[in-house]
Structure 1
Amino acid sequence: MKKALDFLLSILYLLYFGIMLLLFHIVQLVAYNVFGKEAHKKTVVWFNFCLVHGWYLTGSHVHFEQRTVLPQPGERPIIFVANHQSMFDIPGLIWFLRKYYPYFVSKIELAHGIPGISYNLRVGGAALIDRKDGKKAVIEIAKLGQRIHDAKGSAAIFPEGTRSSSAQMKPFAAGGLMALLKRAPDAMVVPVVIQGTGRFNPKGLFPLTSFTKMSWTVLPGLEPAGKTPDEIAQAARQAILDYLDCTYTKTCESD
């Protein structure tokens, strides 16, 4: 019965998902080319609002918690460092962190072929990297670091490099974080714990797992001064692991 419900609700959500991709592709084109970059940013935020809240069509639950006080936008650069479970990690980060509008590091293959998403990656300021060309990838990430340094903006990166299951995080590679911090050395590094998105689509887009609990939790920031990028990356990973462990054992302290 549950499997049949997964199939039914997956079809419902994916129809909705496809409509949102096409609709907001057109909206983004108009916003960017007629009204400019700021208007385009607003359409991206609302695009991701629709994607996130569409998950309720599957009976799933979405939760956001910020367990720390962050600098206000424009006060200093911020680098959000998150574990990576699913393609659905990103809509949650964009919507829940919309106040900071983080720019993402993304593989270049996603810059074409996906309505709405690919266009935003091309014109929205993301660092598009070719994993086969490490030197060029570092240059692109460094450019993003310079942008957030100059604008006191924010970036988001998945140091695992690829998706992992919720049960076992991959090691954090420090290379991308190193490139960002080299150009934005005063950035605060903020760990973000993502839970449940891997269970939501464990085998791709179909079928999705209905009635899944998904959450995004912002942990206290890390100051990079006096630490190597590798030390910062491992500290961020440990903070995420500790939070995942305490939620599993139900020993997390509420703020």
Structure 2
Amino acid sequence: MPLFKRNPFGHHLFLKKWIIRIFGVISHGRYRKFNNLQIEGSQILRDLPDRKVLFISNHQTYFADVAAMFHVFNASLSGRENSIKNIGYIWQPKLNFYFVAAGETMRSGFLPKLFAYAGSVSIDRTWRSAGKDVKRQVKNTDISNIGKAIDDGWVVTFPQGTTTPFKPIRRGTAHIIKTYKPIVVPIVIDGFRRSFDKKGLNIKKRNVLQSMVIKEPLEIDYENEEIADIVTKIEYAIEQHPSFLKVLSVKEIEDLKAEESALNKKRKFWS
């Protein structure tokens, strides 16, 4: 790889590789030592093409979810079966891997800016800004940047646009799927909300069983399926359809949020 080669967003791949390596080493223990990450379906990743793949997932923290995916994806591509043992896989990470994130989150400090360089496709949310509800038009540049990332490699998006469970799926994800026609791979995660604070930077509870289930790609008729049908398909695929509320009651969700708020006040950075 040429020393100064850049990706389509102008990021130096040499620098991106070292950021992934450093944060990979720092974060590895958060999924192997302090807590245990259980993985299912890693073989699916090895059967995917190198580009035009969109991963859709539920969302539990700002950063810990994506960091875990960096580990799982690279470990799987290095031949590990549902395991992130032996961190040597991070030495040659997949560099055309991106994640969609709110621009205000990725600009909120030095660490988020470094994370952004590792692969963020930052967008301006149309429904939320600075903790307040807003209504604004989708930026065409945001959509085209997501498409650029899909054309270049693998992209992770969180179609609910929030870490709060069972919120509606944003229709923009379905529009992106119909427009760019990627292979769509669902991922369901759990345990991150209990083990990390909301940002996913600080460990609030240890010995939590975290899980990541990678499912088979969705079957989608890009030309004929309606947006609403794709939205419903996404809801079921990432287990965020209202019917799944029978597994976790509204009261349990509220209790989790209250517990998270109380524990966040006591957290220490990186614990």
> TM bucket by the smaller chain?
0.5 to 0.7
- Report the alpha carbon displacement of residue 58 of structure 1 after superposing the two structures with TM: 6.5
User: Unmatched 5+ residue regions in structure 2?
Assistant: 78-93, 127-134, 248-271
> What is the match of residue 26 of structure 1?
none
Matches within 5 A, 1:196-235: 196-201=191-196, 208-225=204-221, 226-235=224-233
Render the CA deviation track for 1:135-174: whole Å, top value 9, x for unaligned. 344531332213422x3x121110111102xxx4222112
Q: Secondary structure at the match of 1:135?
A: coil
| CA distance in 2 between partners of 1:44 and 1:137 (Å) | 29
- Report the alpha carbon displacement of residue 117 of structure 1 after superposing the two structures with TM: 3.3
> What is the match of residue 141 of structure 1?
143
Render the CA deviation track for 1:94-120: whole Å, top value 9, x for unaligned. 221235653111111133343343134
CA contact (8 A) 1:68 1:219 kept: no
Q: TM-score, normalised by structure 1?
A: 0.66
> What is the match of residue 168 of structure 2?
171
| CA distance in 1 between partners of 2:106 and 2:154 (Å) | 20
Give the number of the structure whose residues are more often helix, by fraction.
1
CA contact (8 A) 1:173 1:230 kept: no
| CA distance in 2 between partners of 1:233 and 1:51 (Å) | 36
> What is the match of residue 240 of structure 1?
238
Equivalences, count: 206
**Residue 41 of structure 2: which of 66, 80, 99 is its match?**
66
Identity of aligned residues (%): 24
Name the CA shift for 1:207/1:223 in 2 (closer, same or farther; >3 Å).
closer
Q: Secondary structure at the match of 2:238?
A: helix
Q: TM-score, normalised by structure 2?
A: 0.63
Matches within 5 A, 1:88-107: 88-98=64-74, 99=77, 101-107=96-102
| CA distance in 1 between partners of 2:227 and 2:207 (Å) | 38
> What is the match of residue 195 of structure 1?
190
Name the CA shift for 1:65/1:41 in 2 (closer, same or farther; >3 Å).
farther
Q: CA RMSD in A?
A: 3.4
User: Unmatched 5+ residue regions in structure 1?
Assistant: 1-29, 249-255
> What is the match of residue 158 of structure 2?
158
Q: Secondary structure at the match of 1:199?
A: helix
What letter corresponds to residue 69 of structure 1 in structure 2? I
> What is the match of residue 130 of structure 2?
none
| CA distance in 2 between partners of 1:194 and 1:177 (Å) | 21
